[in-house]
Structure 1
């Protein structure tokens, strides 16, 4: 019987390395689009791009049939690791708190609802692109 993924040191290392790469990419975006009040564009952008890529990745892997060891490596390394490190809902929550603390209620409401709604839409778009590229057939 094989070891569960969450107890496999190599898979845990893979997730950690992927997370490091994703976090570094997010930090690069934050340097490129610094937040100076108003709408936190860097956080919004990484979360939307991450949602799209995660939808694309997971749907693509699903359409290939039962998970193989290679697919598990892709799912954990890219999905959980890199995209998990790239996206940042902790920063999103902190930014909402800061907007509310600054009495920017409408900005917080718009940012909160917009981020979640657009995140769902971009994830669905990623799934649709994977479906289109995969010919619409599963397994």
Structure 2
């Protein structure tokens, strides 16, 4: 039997609140919005890779709390897209590097944590 929907929604909301606050704090000085979102996206990708690799060994509530909630709010495609656009208006090369670095590091981190923890 699955988890009641209200409980699942609450678990996701708590994780989402934690992830959103963490992303906000990472984007403050000294890191700033670009480095902060890069760190949030890479750390979130790694954490999600680890969680997916171990999902069969943790309770469903943990997957909802950490995966859907925390990692979902910590990582952000919309902010990455807007920041890349803003950066591209000033320096296209730097914007392309920022986007490529974020995608490459995120994918590598997710794949690595998954490979290390998957059975």
TM-score over 0.5 (shorter chain) = yes
1:72 maps to what in 2? 60
Q: Does 1:98 align with 2:95?
A: no
> Which of the pair is proportionally richer in helix?
2
Choose the corresponding residue for 1:46, options 36, 40, 56: 40
1:10 maps to what in 2? 7
- Larger of the two Rg values belongs to structure: 1
Q: Structure 2 CA distance, aligned partners of 1:130 and 1:93?
A: 30
Q: Unaligned 5+ residue runs, structure 2?
A: none
What is the count of residue pairs matched by the alignment? 118
Deviations 1:94-133 (A, max 9, x none): 101101222x1111111112211211100011112213xx
TM-score normalised over the length of structure 2: 0.89
1:83 maps to what in 2? 71
